[in-house]
Chains A and B, each alone.
Chain A
């Protein structure tokens, strides 16, 4: 089944996976100070889990298996005037580290670009194959 378009499909799956990663990172950054969620408690940072998709021998695509919530403890910040503070005056803030999220965002972008290069290369290979016999 492996043909020229297999690499295109793998590259496309990679780009979709990195886009999901960017979406979760964006969500983490936007909710860095969110203290109220539907389940109660502060926002928990989210992480996508990637899984391989077998396409051919030695060729694996990728998909997002699930998006998990980081179970690390929330940061406690002393702010007794805050409406969501507990009895001791501490507010539970999300366990989101902005620097870490920026790094994740950059890696997602680089991986997205790399997958786009894969697809460009497939097109170039196809063009040079089609040019056989023109010279």
Chain B
């Protein structure tokens, strides 16, 4: 949940500061959720880095086409929205469970 909170803050994480992946593939449901979240986060970060790199290339004048830059930015946007949507719903489901009267 701490990882999810940091993602909701919307920070673009540098892979150097991201802790090395400690997930191992097991069939434990709790571990599977952690694995999926970890993979998704890395994928979002990868798109984000590609988009930053594309914008840098364009503004420094390297021969990069304008539409490729815009598409890299849109990809990062879509994947980030998807990730935050999924995280939000997961957190809501958790809250609903915790609010159940015993």
Q: A130-B81, A130-B82, A130-B85 in contact; A15/B74 too (CB < 8 A)?
A: no
B67 within 8 A of A: yes
* Majority secondary structure, B binding face: helix
Q: A119-B71, A130-B85 in contact; A15/B78 too (CB < 8 A)?
A: no
Interface centre among A5, A116, A127, A133 (most CB of B within 10 A): A5
Give the number of residue pairs across the A-B interface with Cβ within 8 Å.
Answer: 31
Q: A4-B78, A8-B74 in contact; A16/B68 too (CB < 8 A)?
A: yes
Residues of A within 8 A of B82 (CB): 126, 130
B45 CB to closest chain A CB (Å) equals: 16
A-B complex: 3 closest residue pairs judged by Cβ atoms: A15-B67, A126-B78, A130-B85
Q: Please list the residues of chain A having a beta carbon within 8 angstroms of any beta carbon in chain B.
A: 4-5, 8, 11-12, 15-16, 19, 116, 119, 123, 126-127, 130, 133
Q: Please list the residues of chain B having a beta carbon within 8 angstroms of any beta carbon in chain A.
A: 65, 67-68, 70-71, 74-75, 78, 81-82, 85, 89
